[in-house]
Amino acid sequence: MKKAIISVSVILILAFSLIGTIDRTPLKSTEEYKKTFLNVAETIKELEQQVSTDDTLQIGWAKECIIPKGVPLPVAGYGFRTQYRAVRDSLYARAFAFDDGIRQTYVLSLDLMIFPTEVRKRLGEKLLNIGITEEDVLFSATHTHNGMGGFDPSLLGNIAMGIFSEEGTSKIVASAYQAILNAKASKQKGSVGFLKTQSPEWVTNRIVYNGRKENSIRGIKINRVDGKNAAIVTYNAHPTHINMNYWILSRDYPGEWINHLEASKTIDFAAFCAGMVASHGPGDPKHIEDSFERIKDMGSVLSDSILHIWDKTQTNAVVNVDIHKIPIDFRPSQIRIESNLKVRDWVFKSASDGGLQGDITLMRIGNIDWFACPSDFSGEIALDYQFDRVAHQQNKEFMVTSFNGNYAGYITCDAYYDSLNSYEIREMNWVGPEYGAYFGEIIKELLEN
Query: Model confidence over 84-105: pLDDT tens digits?
Result: 999 999 999 999 999 999 999 9
**Rounded distance, CA 22 to CA 395, Å?**
41
> At residue 11, does pLDDT exceed 80?
no
> At residue 155, does pLDDT exceed 90?
yes
What are the angstrom distances between the C-alpha of 155 and each of 81, 118, 298, 352, 405? 15, 13, 36, 6, 18
> At residue 384, does pLDDT exceed 90?
yes
Q: What percent of the chain has pLDDT over 90?
A: 92
**Rounded distance, CA 44 to CA 449, Å?**
7
Instruction: Give mean pLDDT, residues 284-312.
Output: 95
- What is the residue-wise DSSP string for 267-289? -SEEEEEE-SBBTEEE--TT---
Please tell me the predicted confidence (pLDDT) of residue 16.
53
Report residue 238: phi and psi, to 5°: -55, 135
> At residue 17, does pLDDT exceed 80?
no
For residue 353, what pLDDT band results from cuts at 50, 70 and 90?
confident
Please tell me the predicted confidence (pLDDT) of residue 14.
46
> At residue 2, does pLDDT exceed 90?
no
Please tell me the predicted confidence (pLDDT) of residue 10.
41
What are the angstrom distances between the C-alpha of 401 and each of 177, 287, 436? 21, 28, 15
- pLDDT-wise least confident of 3-12, 207-216, 264-273: 3-12
**Rounded distance, CA 72 to CA 407, Å?**
25
Give kind and range of the element (H or E) at residue 48: helix 31-48
Amino acid of residue 358: G
What are the angstrom distances between the C-alpha of 69 and each of 75, 168, 170, 175? 15, 9, 12, 13
CB 193 within 8 Å of CB 315: yes
> At residue 7, does pLDDT exceed 50?
no
Instruction: Give mean pLDDT, residues 365-386.
Output: 97
> At residue 220, does pLDDT exceed 60?
yes
Instruction: Give mean pLDDT, residues 139-158.
Output: 96
Instruction: Give mean pLDDT, residues 346-355.
Output: 90
Tell me the pLDDT tens digit for each residue of 317-348: 999 999 999 999 999 999 999 889 999 999 99
| 3-class state of residue 102 by DSSP | coil
CB 49 within 8 Å of CB 320: no
Does 238 show up as a binding residue in the annotation? yes
Other CB atoms within 10 A of residue 389 CB: 9
Region class of 204: left (phi > 0), else alpha (psi between -120 and 50), else beta: beta
